[in-house]
């Protein structure tokens, strides 16, 4: 049986994927960082998918970290995959998740400190500014939640030469087919399972970005758009 590696791209059906991959994917307590050294190899995947786990220079290059350190001798024989969510939809989901995650959130507090009347359009502009300003910054633990969730997918699935390290990338709307394909690759008896409806982290608001805001998203996530459009399955 082949080993499985799934990279959780934030705001791309993480809960549904974990559930669908059982028992091949083992979950750990993600409420706190867990040491790789003190863990079993079958726990590595979920530890890596926890944004709280410090990875130093590899914080935004998780597939490369897995290849270079966790599964160095067997990476090429592992079936590795991820789901790509349409970038604008993912960005809006990030926005509502990070903005409404609590009145004590760093993002919300930054806006309140400006003493302005909050509205979705203004907040979204500020949100995009923060993404551009804080990309690839992990110096402050309180920022890690924001930067890891808004990190472009392309960074996480490639090496330093922009080579994709995963065996397969599926579009999120093909969730059922993707899960079935992945399970078939590691265990043919696991295919054709009865999967529950995917939880695609539906965004909470009805706000639609303006043309100028869409252009900003396209600039920030250019390679994610290119990746998404290149996927046939």
- With a pLDDT cut of 70, the percent of the chain lying above it is 81
Pairwise pLDDT comparison (156 vs 112), residue with the higher score: 156
Instruction: Determine contact, residues 66/48, Cβ cutoff 8 Å.
Output: yes
pTM for the whole thing?
0.89
Check pLDDT > 60 for residue 197: no
Residue 98's pLDDT is: 84
Sorted by sequence, the CB contacts under 8 Å of residue 109 that are 6+ apart come out as: 103
CA angle 85, 31, 136 (to 5 degrees): 50
Which of the 8 DSSP states describes residue 1?
A: -
Cβ contact 83:175 at 8 Å: yes
Distance, in Å, from the CA atom of 12 to the CA atom of 3, rounded to the nearest integer, reads: 22
State the residue for tokens 């993002």.
Answer: 107
CA distances from 3 to 169, 174, 182 (A): 17, 22, 10
Q: Residue 40: CA atoms inside 13 Å, Cβ hemisphere, count? A: 6
Closest residue by Cα to residue 99 from 87, 89, 109, 90: 109
Per-residue confidence at 195, pLDDT binned at 50, 70, 90?
Answer: low
């Amino acid at each position: 049986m082949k080993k499985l590696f799934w990279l959780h791209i934030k705001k791309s059906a993480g809960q549904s994927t974990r559930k669908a991959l059982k028992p091949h994917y083992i979950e750990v307590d993600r409420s706190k960082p867990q040491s790789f050294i003190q863990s079993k190899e079958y726990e590595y995947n979920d530890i890596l998918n926890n944004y709280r786990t410090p990875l130093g220079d590899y914080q935004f290059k998780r597939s490369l970290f897995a290849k270079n350190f966790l599964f160095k001798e067997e990476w090429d024989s592992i079936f590795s995959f991820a789901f790509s969510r349409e970038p604008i939809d993912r960005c809006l989901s990030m926005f509502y998740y990070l903005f409404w995650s609590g009145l004590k959130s760093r993002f919300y507090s930054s806006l309140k400190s400006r003493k302005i009347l909050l509205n979705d359009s203004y907040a979204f502009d500020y949100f995009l500014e923060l993404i551009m300003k804080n990309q690839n910054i992990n110096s402050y633990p309180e920022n890690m939640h924001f930067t890891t969730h808004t990190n472009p997918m392309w960074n996480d699935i490639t090496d330093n030469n922009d080579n994709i390290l995963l065996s397969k990338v599926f579009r999120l709307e093909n969730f059922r087919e993707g899960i079935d394909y992945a399970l078939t690759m590691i265990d043919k008896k696991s295919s054709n399972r009865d999967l529950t409806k995917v939880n695609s982290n539906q965004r909470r608001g009805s706000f639609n970005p303006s043309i100028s805001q869409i252009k900003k998203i396209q600039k920030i996530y250019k390679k994610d758009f290119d990746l998404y459009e290149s996927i046939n399955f």
